[in-house]
Chains A and B, each alone.
Chain A
Amino acid sequence: MWGQYNVGLLVVLISGVIGFLALAIETDDLHRLLLLDLVEITTLGVIALLGTDLAEALVLPGLTVGIAELLALSQIYITKEGLKERPVTGLNIEVIQKADAPMIISVFLVVYGLLLSGFTGGGVAGLGLVFYFMSRGYKEDLNMLEMASGISWAIWIFAFFVFMFLPQYWFIALMGAAVGIVLKVTVKMSLVGTMWGEHRD
């Protein structure tokens, strides 16, 4: 087992070194940011090599911190370069905008995601919504979605408190946490997919 771990570690570290080499050669700010995102993945690789439940629990916060830093830096990049007007109106492909296919695929993904529940389900359902918004272009008010995200997060946290203080009601807490997280991840992903077209004053 140790032999496998060492080989895996070596492979991941070599890919990390390759990423850093590319980073040292690249001079464009935006490309360096993209390369860094690639290098970040090797971190997740090192954590995932543990191959235990603990590793799964550690990959998530590692990923979240990476995404948070990436979002913060992209925001700084936008301000730094003075990029203001970014009109993005979804995919401008007539076939996709007129056809029923995006609708059917989105519905399928959302239903499948709801059946999966949890983080994975949220991811799949969110992907369905992102695809729908992208293909149709959206005109909705995002405040409602943000509110739904907040409420589902509160349900998730509440379920955790039930786990800690009233463990005999674990089943209802499990259901609450599963529903809360599926809504939360779905809404978050659809927000990430649509907010770039938004103009905030």
Chain B
Amino acid sequence: MSTVTSIGGIPYYILEFGDELVYFTPYTITLFLLALTFTILVIISRPEQQVDVAFGGDAYRTKEISLSEMRFRRFMAIACGLASMGAMVTGDIFNFTLFTAMVGITNVGIVAAVKSPHVQDAAYQYGLVALAATVPLFAGAAVYAAATGSLSMIELMKGTVPAVPLIAKAMLVIGVIGEGMAPFYAAKAEMFRAPGAPYVIMCSLSSLLIFLRVVEVVMLG
């Protein structure tokens, strides 16, 4: 157990605000800075325009995307970045699951404004999976609280609370996977047909970050 207590490194800074808890370890601060950098990139960058090329000929056409659609997607991408940042630094299991669920919604939102039937259908199917994944996600957090009596990651780190049952960890990981990680990427790949480079990248980046964080979370208790 002593080896896993310092899984993310010794916390530099712990902000306790009532029940709410935020802490920075070398591991989480790296992920936080990555999320911050990409959110700033999304804010300042200009979106790309997709070009369709017909093979076998020299015909090509540019896809027209309206300004309001781009604005909406930029807003969703920024919201996704903020949710990822929150998930990186939070020290509360339930808040982590809430941020993860929010990343799931905003991932759908980033592509939902696209006027393409393929993309919308993919977004809808992915949204159904994300909605179903909140069941194991929140249930996992609830079993964490039931077994240890605490949702604080700092308490879990100290090792003073009872051990977390494997089923709770498994449910948490399954929930995170359902919110857009590895096996369900198949649905997301269709969503990436959506034009608008910097915003769509936020979908994959946020998934990657959440996955890196949940690895730390399940190794704590």
Enumerate chain A interface residues (CB-CB to B < 8 A): 5, 9, 13, 16, 20, 23, 29, 32-33, 36, 39-40, 42-43, 46-47, 49-50, 54-55, 58, 61-62, 65-66, 68-70, 72-73, 75-77, 79-80
Q: CB-CB < 8 A to A65: which residues of B? A: 98, 101-102, 105, 134
Minimal Cβ-Cβ distance residue in A for B132: A36
CB <8 Å contact, B138 and A46 = yes
CB <8 Å contact, B135 and A76 = no
CB <8 Å contact, A62 and B138 = yes
Enumerate chain B interface residues (CB-CB to A < 8 A): 94, 98, 101-102, 104-105, 108-109, 112, 117, 120-121, 123-124, 127-128, 130-132, 134-135, 138-139, 141-143, 145-146, 151
6 inter-chain pairs at a CB distance below 8 angstroms, sorted by A residue, are A32-B128, A33-B128, A40-B134, A46-B138, A69-B130, A73-B128
A40-B134, A80-B124 known; 6 new pairs, CB 8 Å cut-off, are A29-B124, A55-B145, A73-B108, A76-B112, A79-B120, A80-B121
B17 to chain A, nearest CB (A): 8
A41 to chain B, nearest CB (A): 10
Rounded to whole angstroms, the CA-CA distance of A32 and B125 in the bound complex is 10
Rounded to whole angstroms, the CA-CA distance of A32 and B126 in the bound complex is 13
- Which of A29, A46, A69, A75 touches B142 (beta carbons < 8 Å)? A46
Rounded to whole angstroms, the CA-CA distance of A20 and B121 in the bound complex is 21
Minimal Cβ-Cβ distance residue in B for A82: B117
Q: CB-CB < 8 A to B124: which residues of A? A: 29, 73, 76-77, 80
Knowing A65-B101, A72-B108, the reply to whether A50 touches B134 (Cβ < 8 A) is: no
CB <8 Å contact, A72 and B135 = no
CB <8 Å contact, A46 and B131 = no
CB <8 Å contact, A47 and B131 = no
CB <8 Å contact, B132 and A80 = no
Knowing A29-B124, A40-B135, the reply to whether A50 touches B98 (Cβ < 8 A) is: no
B135 to chain A, nearest CB (A): 5
Rounded to whole angstroms, the CA-CA distance of A66 and B139 in the bound complex is 13
Q: CB-CB < 8 A to B135: which residues of A? A: 16, 39-40, 42-43
Rounded to whole angstroms, the CA-CA distance of A13 and B140 in the bound complex is 12
CB <8 Å contact, B146 and A20 = no
Rounded to whole angstroms, the CA-CA distance of A32 and B94 in the bound complex is 27
CB <8 Å contact, B108 and A66 = no
- Which of B128, B130, B146 touches A50 (beta carbons < 8 Å)? B146
Rounded to whole angstroms, the CA-CA distance of A72 and B128 in the bound complex is 11
Q: CB-CB < 8 A to A73: which residues of B? A: 108, 124, 127-128, 131
Rounded to whole angstroms, the CA-CA distance of A62 and B112 in the bound complex is 23
A46 to chain B, nearest CB (A): 4
CB <8 Å contact, A80 and B117 = yes
CB <8 Å contact, B112 and A75 = yes
Q: CB-CB < 8 A to B141: which residues of A? A: 47, 58
Minimal Cβ-Cβ distance residue in A for B109: A72
Minimal Cβ-Cβ distance residue in B for A16: B135
Knowing A69-B127, A73-B127, the reply to whether A39 touches B145 (Cβ < 8 A) is: no
